[in-house]
Amino acid sequence: MANIRNDVEFFAAQFKALSNPHRLAMFHRLASCCPPGTSCNTEDAVRYSVGQLGADVDISASTLSHHLKELHRAGLVQMARKGQQVECWVAPQTLEQLAAFFSDLPAQPKMQGGNP
């Protein structure tokens, strides 16, 4: 990331893509296969077919495709055709970038006695 403005725009696009409950559920399923800090690499990342992901959410195939394209456009999900199927996965560096974003936030002091 070149500067804070680029970082903010990059992460804003990712969080916007994750703001939809169906997309968040799909991303969570994919991301849980390769959590940050593991030795998983792109070749070892667990991949799901679009059909497997669709089994978890009660939406039409066209809506599922739209959600996956949004996740892909935001850089959250990688996709590749394998025969007649399209495989999806989260690249480990994506999870590392998100983890780094949140770990860079300053710790918030605990409030005593109620509201801020």
CATH classification at residue 31: 1.10.10.10
Side by side, the strands of the sheet bearing 48-49 are 48-49, 85-89, 78-82
In a domain, 111, yes or no: no
**Domain for residue 108, yes or no?**
no
- Predicted confidence at residue 61, as pLDDT, reads 87
Q: What is the pTM of this model?
A: 0.75
CA angle (81 as vertex; 18, 9 as ends), nearest 5 = 30
- Average pLDDT over all residues of the chain: 80
Determine the length of the chain: 116
Domain-embedded: residue 112: no
Cβ atoms of 45 and 34 closer than 8 Å: yes
In a domain, 110, yes or no: no
Whether the per-residue pLDDT at 108 is higher than 80: the answer is: no
In a domain, 62, yes or no: yes
Question: Residue 71 domain-assigned?
Answer: yes
pLDDT tens digit sequence for 62-77: 999 999 999 999 999 9
Q: Which domain holds residue 95?
A: 4-102
> Is 116 part of any domain?
no
Q: Answer whether residue 79 shows pLDDT above 80.
A: yes
If one counts the domains in the chain, the total is 1
Using the predicted structure, report yes or no on whether residue 2 has a pLDDT greater than 60.
no
